[in-house]
Amino acid sequence: MKKFVISIIIILLTRGGFSFTQDDFYDSIPDTEKIEMSDYYWYLYLLLDLHFEISNDFSFDNPMFFTVGLINIMKHYSDMDVIEYLWHSFDIQKTLDYLLSDMSQVLAQSDSAIHYIERNLLSLKTKKDNCDSLKELSDKEFSLALKDLNLKAMDKNLTKSLEYGQCSSDTRINYNAQDKVLWELKFYYTILNHKYEYFHRQRSNIIENYSNILYQLKGVN
């Protein structure tokens, strides 16, 4: 039974885009806690805790990696069949409450990431506009130097134009990349937020009537 449940966790982690092995997973659990492994809920707790720990490994020092990590976790939760997931738990209330709590924390992190990237995009836009303005000025200065046949000024302003042109190009590429990532982040944030709000509203109903709900969906007791 232990190997079977660990296999399930490994499959779920793989679906979420992570690459833990069975040994890596089991070795990461303190010896004092391995005694509790007979409880399926404990496996569930460790699975979700690992997801949250992974998200905490990212930092705003690299917003691209941080954001992709959040998108990966939100996609996992968005694809999750919560009712089916609860069916494997020994304690519906604890499992559902933990799911809702973890979803809430992931959404909060995603909301912070959205605002961070939006501010960063404004900064990048300002930088690109400055580079474009400086390039335009250098281009004009180059033309004036050419008119006067001033080779030194021509060389100086041509060098500046190339530098500002590269600055504008690099900033535009960076802006477009982060803008695409932001779109994905907002997309999965919207999906997961709707899912979270629905199950949060239906929490009591699901806990009290889970057997009936499962019967209607699966045709089993």
CATH number at residue 197: 1.10.287
Residue 72 lies in a domain: yes
pLDDT along the chain (221 residues), means of 10: 36 36 39 38 45 46 73 91 82 90 93 92 96 96 93 95 96 94 94 94 86 62 39
Query: What sign results for the dihedral spanned by CA atoms 58, 60, 61, 64?
Result: positive
Q: Whole domain around residue 78: which residue ranges?
A: 2-56+66-218
The answer to the question of residue 39 being in a domain is yes
- The pLDDT score that the predictor gives to residue 214 is 67
- In this prediction, residue 219 carries a pLDDT of 52
pLDDT of residue 63: 60
**pLDDT at residue number 21:** 34
How many folded domains does the chain comprise?
A: 1
Cα(69)–Cα(59) distance, integer angstroms: 10
Classify residue 82: in a domain, yes or no: yes
Q: CB atoms < 10 A from the CB of 175, how many?
A: 18
In this structure, are residues 186 and 170 in contact, taking their beta carbons and an 8 Å threshold? no
Residue 174's pLDDT is 93
| Per-residue confidence (pLDDT) for residue 159, from 0 to 100 | 96
Residue 175 lies in a domain: yes
Say if 61 falls within a structural domain.
Answer: no
Residue at 142 is within a domain: yes
- Give domain status of residue 121, yes or no: yes
- DSSP secondary structure letters along the chain: -HHHHHHHHHHHHHHTT----HHHHHHTS-HHHHGGGGSHHHHHHHHHHHHHHHHHT--TTSHHHHHHHHHHHHHHHHH--HHHHHHT-S-HHHHHHHHHHHHHHHHHHHHHHHHHHHHHHHHHHHHHHHHHHHHHHHHHHHHHHHHTT-HHHHHHHHHHHHHHHHHHHHHHHHHHHHHHHHHHHHHHHHHHHHHHHHHHHTHHHHHHTHHHHHHHHHS--
pLDDT of residue 114: 93
